[in-house]
Structure 1
Amino acid sequence: MHLHISSTLLLPLGSLASIASGKLLKPQTNTFSSNFTLTDEQIATLNLSSSAANNINVAAQFERSNWATGSVFGDPFYTHLPPNATSAAAGSVLKAQEFINTSTYTLAPTLALSRIVYQSKTLNGTLVPVSAYILWPYMPRGGGLVAPLVSWGHGTTGIYAECAPSHIRSLSFHFSGPYSLALAGYAVVGTDYAGLGAPFYPDGKNITHEYGHRQRRATTCYTPPKLRTQLFHTGGAAAWAAAQQQVDAKVPGFMGSIAAAPVTNSFEFFTTQSKIGLVQAAQAIRLVFPEIPISSILTDVGEKFVDLMGIIQSCNSVFATAAMELAGTDFLHPKVNLTRDEFVNSHYSKLWADLTVAGGKDFQGPMLVLQGTADHILPETLTAKYVNKTCEKYPQNELQYVKVNSAGHVSVVYATQQIWLEWLDQRFSKRGRFDRKGTCSQHEVGSTAPRPLEEYQGEPNYFLEYSLDSYQVA
């Protein structure tokens, strides 16, 4: 039995009027709106080869061409805070842009966008302004007048202000999360996290992103009260941390968490998979342990590397390109050490791990954990280890672990879309909210795939690019 669906697509000749008018078309590169280049001094600082400098330049031009609203440092939305930003309670909306011109973004059609800055807290309890976006659906799920709300905690985009998804054309994760949720009828609140987006405290001091500390990366636990009705969290370790926070925070309207490919123990990850992660976490570690000099975490080259990355506001594309140029592709055994083994083996690393671990702690369920077996960034065995620890200590809590055969770090979200959409429907229904059984469960998926698993597309091999000419979207 099958269902036949057909659609007639008419060639949008009207949109090609610019061609008919005699406009000369030009090829579009993916670095179309930036001419960034490293200075000679910056190149000399790390003794970069000409090819390495070229590659970093191209990656930086690519990142900057994907800014929807220009630099956050030149956008008053991020830099100009109202007077109450010094004292407003965590959860307060400090400012809002209700209607955003989406023409500079690469949103999925029929979605609308708003931006807000709200008050949150850092790890040490300091009030901090945090920017976020709200993605609005065309039709609320379930046919109601109000769209159910989900809180999206994004994966790693970088550690600097320019890495905020709210000013990136595709919101950084497009169809792997926010677009799919909004197209399914959910209103999506996507936090940038403290230090990404809004760059300054009210007194003008820089905000350092607390990379690696998921307890505060889950800043959406302080989602403004007007947005709290019916809330769930997603976004890997941030979602798991949100569930752990909820034991004490008791945010009204919280309905559960989905953790996709979560970093559970960051130091176990740094020491067994990638030392580069410690480079990104170094400044955040010093926020917690200010008595530690940065030189005890990073080598001289590592310090110079972090300084340069901060100056040019590198995000994932630049950071990964520069790291590979310096350290090679084996981040566990780099050609040039950027971190110090002495710190990894110190008692501070254990303190940090205990402070930031997701898993093995009490949490408020229900929680859905998704992990692919072909994840080359986070091994399934590490996620399973902390799922098992959690279930052994808190068997009465509701945790569902789904092991996704042959899925990778990003593709796991695509492979399980039916699962997490159904899971959400259950949470927002009376049956899902009031008739839950608190247990841990685990199961695998992939055995019912109609084709051999090796025949399926793996990780995404594309990106969304803003179109400058109508022929590109004809």
Structure 2
Amino acid sequence: MNTIVRPILAAFLSAAGVLAATAQPAIAEPAAAAVAPGIVLTSSPATLPAELSALATGKRIQYTSTSITGSTITSTGLVLTPRSGKKNKVVAWAHGTTGLADQCAPSTNQAVFWEEARIAVAELLSRGWTVAATDYAGLGTVLPHPYLIGASEGRAIIDSVKAARNLDPALSTQYAIDGHSQGGQGALFASQLAPAYDGNLVLKGTSSIAPVSNTDTIVPLIPGTPGQGYLVMALFGLATVDSSVQPLNILAAPAKARLGVLSSGCLNEILAAYQDLTATDLVVGGTVPDAVLAKFAQYDNPAQTAPSAPILVVQGTDDDAVPYFVTADLLIPQLQAYSQPVTFVPIAGATHDTSVIQSADLVADWIAARFA
């Protein structure tokens, strides 16, 4: 099973008798010796959703990446090659939240290759671009998934592009990034990391749709709302990189009683398991401690350092997962404080997911202009 439940959660769930096997076997990590990021370890034909199979052929890959501590790790993902009109460029697709366990990797589970993601990726493929779609670290490997740890996501995104070019050396060094929600956050982190991390690649632009940001502002709003499962996942994401964060000391007893869903289910099941709890049922005292909020800000908030390429941010005004004001009033000024141009496109009435669907053409047009 995914090691998100090890060691923090395993003892609790084992005692409760709720450990569950995942759908995909965990992938072993490479030897301890350092390996260049982006090396393709395995490649096999992938079965794509119908919306994409007409547009592209796919390969599921295991590739080397780097943890936030600098160690070599394995990530998985898809490389989608357009069937026609190839323009020799790569766009990295960074997916929204799917869950924490191994079976929640979109490269092997089409149920979590969300509709909005398929529409966005189909539009990219229709422009003739190769799409590298990472699962991020820990989804489908023996690692825990460092959920919302931006520097981890950013490395996995960049290394998926390196892996695509290792599969097809004819691909250009120019690339762009397109991400939604968790992936929108990861895309912004990748832009921050790129100058020092992407080697000879050339990032031309980053599109970020409904990105997670300013988590120290969002988190206090979550207890007692239908989105409480996101907070449970985020606590365990923090715990993968910071041992001072102990989810079992933060979560209240009713929330701990439902932790089995983190290994047995994916996003929808996790949200359903926690949606009806009160704030005090979710976390001790009904509020997340200030010290933990500071950790969220440290690890999860983009715009702490300068982006390296132009940025497009798209945000629906009716988003109930990432509140509009967080993006419009907080994130955009933070990004504008740096030298790279920032384009902000609000979409009136759009939700967290429909913002992706309604902006698919706009985003692809913006990326095409960056490549041009």
- Correspondences of 1:49-64 after superposition (within 5 Å): none
Matched, 1:278 2:226: no
Q: Deviations over 1:13-36 (max 9, x none)?
A: xxxxxxxxxxxxxxxxxxxxxxxx
Contact 2:136 2:145 in 1 (8 A): yes
Which shows bigger deviation, 376-385 or 217-226? 217-226
C-alpha deviation, 1:114, in angstroms: 0.5
Code of the residue aligned with 2:229 in structure 1: it is I
8 Å Cα contact 1:260/1:369 also seen in 2: yes
1:363 aligns with 2:307: yes
2:135 matched to which residue of 1?
192
Aligned pairs for 1:396-435 within 5 A = 396-429=339-372
Q: Give the counterpart of 1:243 among 178, 191, 194.
A: 191
1:213-234 Cα offsets, whole Å, 9 max, x none, are 1221121122353635221112
Take 2:365 and 2:271, find their aligned partners in 1: how far apart are those partners?
A: 35
Supply the AA of the counterpart residue of 2:192. Answer: Q
Partners in 2 of 1:309 and 1:89 — Cα distance?
35
- Which letter does structure 1 place at the counterpart of 2:297? A
Per the alignment, residue 169 of structure 1 pairs with 110
Deviation at 1:258, TM superposition (A): 0.4
Q: Does 1:294 align with 2:218?
A: no
SS in 1 for 2:205: strand
Q: Does 1:380 align with 2:316?
A: no
In structure 2, C-alpha distance between the alignment counterparts of 1:352 and 1:413, rounded to whole Å: 25
**Residue in structure 2 matching 1:309, options 261, 264, 284:** 261
Matched to 1:321, the amino acid is: A
Distance 1:381 1:294, change over 3 A: closer
Match among 90, 99, 105 for residue 37 of structure 2: 90
Q: Is the 8 A contact 1:368 1:400 kept in 2?
A: yes
Cα distance in 2 for residues equivalent to 1:176 and 1:226: 23
Q: Any conservation in 2 of the 1:359–1:386 contact (CA below 8 Å)?
A: no
Q: Which runs of 5+ in 1 are unaligned?
A: 1-41, 47-59, 65-69, 201-206, 328-333, 430-474
What's the offset of the Cα at 1:373? 0.9
- Give, in whole Å, the separation in 1 of the partners of 2:134 and 2:280: 35
CA distance in 1, matches of 2:105, 2:334: 32
| Aligned residue number for residue 23 of structure 2 | 71
How much has 1:321 moved relative to structure 2? 1.9
- Equivalent in the alignment of 2:93: 152
2: CA distance between counterparts of 1:361 and 1:80?
Answer: 33
The answer to whether residue 154 in structure 2 is matched with residue 223 in structure 1 is no
d(CA) in 2 for partners of 1:167 and 1:320? 21
* Cα distance change, pair 315–387 in 1 and its aligned pair in 2 (3 A): same
Residue 75 of structure 2 aligns with an amino acid whose one-letter code is: V
Larger relative contact order (Cα-Cα within 8 Å, sequence gap ≥ 6): 2
Verify the 8 A CA contact 1:194 1:217 in the aligned structure 2.
Answer: yes
Q: Is the 8 A contact 2:145 2:240 kept in 1?
A: no
Q: Which has the higher strand share?
A: 2
Q: Judging changes above 3 Å, is the alpha-carbon distance between structure 1 residues 414 and 112 closer, same or farther for their aligned structure 2 residues? A: same
Deviations 1:254-275 (A, max 9, x none): 2111000001122321212454
- How far apart, CA to CA, are the structure 1 residues paired with 2:43 and 2:153? 21
TM-score, normalised relative to structure 1: 0.65
Aligned residues: 338
Q: Is the 8 A contact 1:368 1:399 kept in 2?
A: yes
Alignment correspondent of 1:456: none
Partner of 2:10: none
CA gap of 1:276–1:321, structure 2 versus 1, over 3 A, is closer
Q: Tell me the amino acid that sits aligned with residue 99 of structure 2.
A: G
1:86–1:397 Cα change, 3 Å: same
The partner residue of 2:82 within 125, 137, 144 is 137
For residues 358 and 192 of structure 1, the distance between their equivalents in structure 2, rounded to whole angstroms, comes to: 20
Over 3 Å counting, the alpha-carbon distance change for 1:292 and 1:381 in structure 2 is closer
TM-score w.r.t. the length of structure 2 is: 0.81
Contact 2:176 2:203 in 1 (8 A): yes
- Specify the alignment match of 1:120 in structure 2: 65
| AA aligned opposite 1:294 | P
Quote the offset at 1:123 in angstroms.
2.5
Task: For structure 2, list consecutive stretches of 5 or more residues without a partner in the other structure.
Answer: 1-12, 166-172
Aligned counterpart, 2:46: 100
Match of 1:261 among 188, 192, 210: 210
Task: Please point out which of 259, 279, 294 is paired with 1:350.
Answer: 294
Q: What is the CA-CA distance between 1:360 and the residue it aligns to? A: 5.0
Q: Summarize the Cα distance change of 1:121–1:301 in structure 2 as closer, same or farther, 3 Å threshold.
A: farther
Structure with the greater alpha carbon radius of gyration: 1
Taking the aligned partners of 2:332 and 2:79, their CA distance within structure 1 comes to 35
